[in-house]
Amino acid sequence: MDILTPYDEFPCHQVPQPFSHVPSTDLNWDEGYYFGIMNPDEQVMFCTGFRINPNTDMIGGYALINVAGVQRTFRFSRCWRRDFTIRVGPFRMEVIEPLKVIRLVLEENDSGIAFDFLWKGTSPAFLEEHHTATNRGRRTTDQRRYSQPGVPEGWLEWPGRRWDVGQPGWVAVRDHSWGLYVERPPVAPDPKWLPPREDSGPQRALRFWAVFKTGDWSGFYHLHEDAEGEQRKFNDVFGTPFAGKLFRGWSEETVDLVAGRHEMTFETLPDGSPSKVLKTATLLLTDAEGREWKQTFETAAPPWVTQTMGYTPGSWKDGGSFHTYHGSEELATEWDHFDFREQPFDFTPYGEAGKNQPDSMKQGAVYSGKIYGVEYLSRITTYAPDGSISTGSGQIELFINGAYRPYGFG
């Protein structure tokens, strides 16, 4: 039965259904938000967010703080259709001004993490290309996403520390996505009952994603390459070879980026071989007028680890994720604490996900074993074509999947 939601009051329908209805019965259709605030001088990387999965009737999210590699995560979940507000127990989100100002609050809870801050955009959001992917004739990705830089204003705390995030040195990033993104075990078919995945051509080996603010400039870009370092379109969840845009404020100047290349350095393992922990990166960017921009990145702390957020199977202690039911329609919460200062590290998910690794690996979805973080807090310097230089910080997401020969990864 269709149900009216508060959002049905507004004249923004695009299908003849209320907002409680989504145009897919796939259990992996979802919508959600990611908000990050960070300070490289404090070595603090914080993020919070949630996803709504209408076809499992769940809303679930997280609040995560990583301080110099030590990471604590609070997770929360409830059934969705019983209450259409953007609130789950002590967590809530308030849209103050769409696409510009969001308030995020986490009230007192057992984890010791709490916050109340405004996420304020410093430039417009960048709408990424429509992402699609298929397997054996079935669409497995059909998603839109926008990313945006910003600054925070308010406070954040975990046990023994409280930060005024409105002080200089703090920046913010976010994204909002909806649709079919990727099959999300455990609410996905067991691959042993299906034919092998079809050969879809070259596989993505590197993803570099950056959202940043340096002085008056802020922006977003990403690139995706195969094992030989060639940027190309892939039949996967990201797809786009290269895209991005730079902004000076909200309207002073907009720069469309059309190409980018990179030089990166990595930490070394005890045997002298390169690890996958990034040290520095230099990105040479070409804009639509043929001008060259340069950005340098210096990582400020060990990368933080996504496996505790709630997206993946075994990220909840019952073995599920925030797309699954955790024993209470009204509210389920939990938290954990890890030391990820040394990487790679041995990581085992909770529940069955930690036991069924061979099947997961067949899909390329590695949840346990020797793990690296992929999300970096970074100091960033922007060199503009006019000779001006600006400094600041932001977040890098760097995936290196399997072999990537330009940097010697086999």
pLDDT in tens, 79-91: 999 999 999 999 9
In angstroms, the CA 248 to CA 273 distance is 41
In a domain, 8, yes or no: no
pTM above 0.85, yes or no: yes
- In this prediction, residue 354 carries a pLDDT of 65
In a domain, 18, yes or no: no
- In this prediction, residue 363 carries a pLDDT of 38
- In this prediction, residue 29 carries a pLDDT of 95
CATH number of the CATH domain containing 143:
2.40.370.10
In a domain, 238, yes or no: yes
Nearest to 234 by CA among 401, 373, 406: 401
- In this prediction, residue 356 carries a pLDDT of 57
| Helix-then-strand count for the chain, H and E | 1, 24
In angstroms, the CA 112 to CA 107 distance is 10
In a domain, 60, yes or no: yes
Contact 328, 78 (CB under 8 A): yes
User: What is the 3-state composition of the chain as percent helix, strand, coil, each rounded to the nearest 5?
Assistant: 5, 50, 45
- How sure is the predictor about 358, in pLDDT bands with cuts at 50, 70 and 90? very low
Contact 79, 57 (CB under 8 A): yes
Range of the domain at 83: 29-407
Contact 209, 374 (CB under 8 A): no
Q: Please indicate whether residue 2 or residue 354 has the higher confidence score (pLDDT).
A: 2
Element (H, E) at 1: none
In angstroms, the CA 327 to CA 310 distance is 16
In a domain, 103, yes or no: yes
Q: Which amino acid is at 206?
A: L
**Does the pLDDT value for residue 333 go beyond 90?**
yes
240 CB burial (10 A radius; 0-12, 13-18, 19+): middle
- How sure is the predictor about 274, in pLDDT bands with cuts at 50, 70 and 90? confident
- In this prediction, residue 199 carries a pLDDT of 87
Q: Please indicate whether residue 14 or residue 384 has the higher confidence score (pLDDT).
A: 384
- In this prediction, residue 344 carries a pLDDT of 93
What average pLDDT score do residues 64-88 get?
97
| Domain count within the chain | 1
In a domain, 7, yes or no: no
Kindly report, residue by residue over 275-307, the tens digit of the pLDDT.
999 999 999 999 999 999 999 999 999 999 999
